[in-house]
A and B are shown apart, each in its own frame.
Chain A
Amino acid sequence: MTATTIDRPAVSGAVAGAATAARDTWALIGRTLRRSLRTPDTLIMGIALPVMIMAMFVYVFGGAIDTGMQYVDYVVPGIVLLCAGYGASTTAVGVATDMTGGLMNRFRSLPMRPAAVLTGHVVESMVRNVVSTVLVVGVALAAGFRPTAGLGGWLAVAGVVALYVLALTWVAVCIGVVASTPEAASGFSFVIMFVPYVSSAFVQPETMPRVLELVARYQPVTPVTDTVRAWLTGAGEAQPWVALAWCAGVFLVARVGAVVLFRRRAG
């Protein structure tokens, strides 16, 4: 029976343990990806919402906003991050659904590490956001967005956006773990939707009242947006180290926090 694996020597036991954990995680990634394909509304919302916001800002407000450049070129990096942030935040609902259903008890009574469930959700979020971000960039190009970046620039941008999504996804996981219901967890998406408005994503911070300007200047979305914008269009100043420091910091805190919170809630 399976009990024999327990009596192996410690070293090969640890290696076997790591391989087993990897296989568990792989199985759970397959599960979340299947779920994702069967609930296309999450992906559709994640694309439709940024596209609508983009249309509104480019065609409705854009003419009245002076940023010293084509407004579509100014706003698209912010829209891409809004799209990625929204997509990452919906992970909170998926995690909360798992935490509150009977399924988690099953996972916990299996000889596996239940926290692997969280990794499954994070990988699903990364994959889903790659799809939605690529589609949103495609729509932006159709709307007149003209980036000047070469391949290196695009790859660098992809890296920053991926780290941004990763960090926000783990924050969403924390929210999902502590939320009492999936409905409560869905509130997180709204908060994340509004954070980019008080940043350099839509207008330049110096046009805001003093207090908001300070908030906008020093909150994480601004350095990330500025970096993506500078690398894609050459406009403004990239702040890659500030952006990376923010993303990496948020990622680390949320990653550790998620595991601690998960243990407390689900052992």
Chain B
Amino acid sequence: MAAMIETRGLRKSVGPTRVLDGVDLAVPEGSVLALLGPNGAGKTTMVNVLATLLRPDGGQALVGGVDVVRQPERARTLFSLTGQYAALDELLTGRENLVLMARLAHLPRAAVGPRAAELLDAFDLTDAADRLVRTYSGGMRRRLDLAVSLLTRPRVIFLDEPTTGLDPRSRADLWEVIRGVVREGTTVLLTTQYLEEADALADRIAVLDRGSVVAEGTAAELKRRVGSAHLELELVDGRVERLATDGSVGDARRLLALVEAEDRPVAHWRLATPTLDDVFLTLTGAHVPGAEPGAARASDDPGRRASAPLQEVAR
């Protein structure tokens, strides 16, 4: 299938910092790619280059086959951008925002009103349509922002950290909305620092770290890179032990029999498969200077401690 979004060797420096250091990506039409990375990895820069807001220093970026550097006007008719901060006019109502942007996007005059009403309805904003955006909650703003992006039925949507700062309920709502957009065949590139978000929404995940793609694949492929399943034993003194397993019933039974035979004081046990968290730490944590990949973070986040030994298994 033809790539709807494609970059080759994309480079961009700000001062001495190489924000993008040769990024190659290809997003097939109708699919969702999540660009996953910590703050400062270059995610927003990547989106801004693709959305014609920033000029790259080198390499090529194509949206729908159109070079965004050479033909920015033409590229802009193919995509929409929903940035990290809601791009709305606080002093206009939800409906007025949609109508203004629809007119600026050159929708046929007769289509403006109905399209605005349709989107307000689809995004559950009809009741709030005639209130000033100033009075909207964070979740409502994000939904309206996304609705604005969809006015022109773009073939490509860039979502820069669409759910950052939202409560879990609003996040789940927005995910549903994004899934709806994808069902209609829109190609989506989204950036996120939330692994579960990438896991929930994306067909493929590219892990971006310090301006380079350090891994790319489906969530399952990435998890496989880190290691196989394991039995996790929580001992009564609170320590956690892990035993690698192939996940089959026979193997699990064999391991549990061993545990029982040794008469170890196990409080709980469970079968654990690698999470994207593990992937993330293995792939990007390796840069932490002078520290074990997982250990540096495990020490300041008890919830993450579980993943450190797993990486040893993986290596």
Contact = CB atoms under 8 A, between A and B. Distances in A.
Contacts of B101: 106, 110
B226 interface: no
Nearest to A20: B106
Chain A, interface SS category: helix
B228 interface: no
Interface string B66-109: 00000001101111110111111101100010001101111000
Nearest to A27: B103
B235 to A, nearest CB: 50
Interface residues of B, number: 31
A6 B74 contact: yes
Given A2-B152, A23-B103, A111 B76 contact: yes
Interface string A1-21: 111001000000000000010
Chain B, interface SS category: loop
Interface stretch (A29-37, A179-187, A190-198): A29-37
Contact of A111 (B83, B86, B106, B132): B106
B23 interface: no
Given A34-B91, A35-B92, A3 B77 contact: yes
Contacts of B76: 109-111
Nearest to A4: B77
Interface of A: 1-3, 6, 20, 23-24, 27-28, 30-31, 34-35, 38-39, 101-112, 267
8 contacts: A2-B106, A20-B106, A34-B96, A39-B91, A102-B83, A102-B85, A102-B88, A106-B87
**In the complex, the 10 A-B pairs of residues with the closest C-beta atoms, listed nearest first:** A106-B87, A102-B85, A102-B87, A27-B103, A2-B77, A35-B91, A109-B81, A111-B76, A38-B91, A103-B87
Interface of B: 48, 51-53, 73-74, 76-81, 83-89, 91-92, 96, 100-101, 103-106, 132, 148, 152
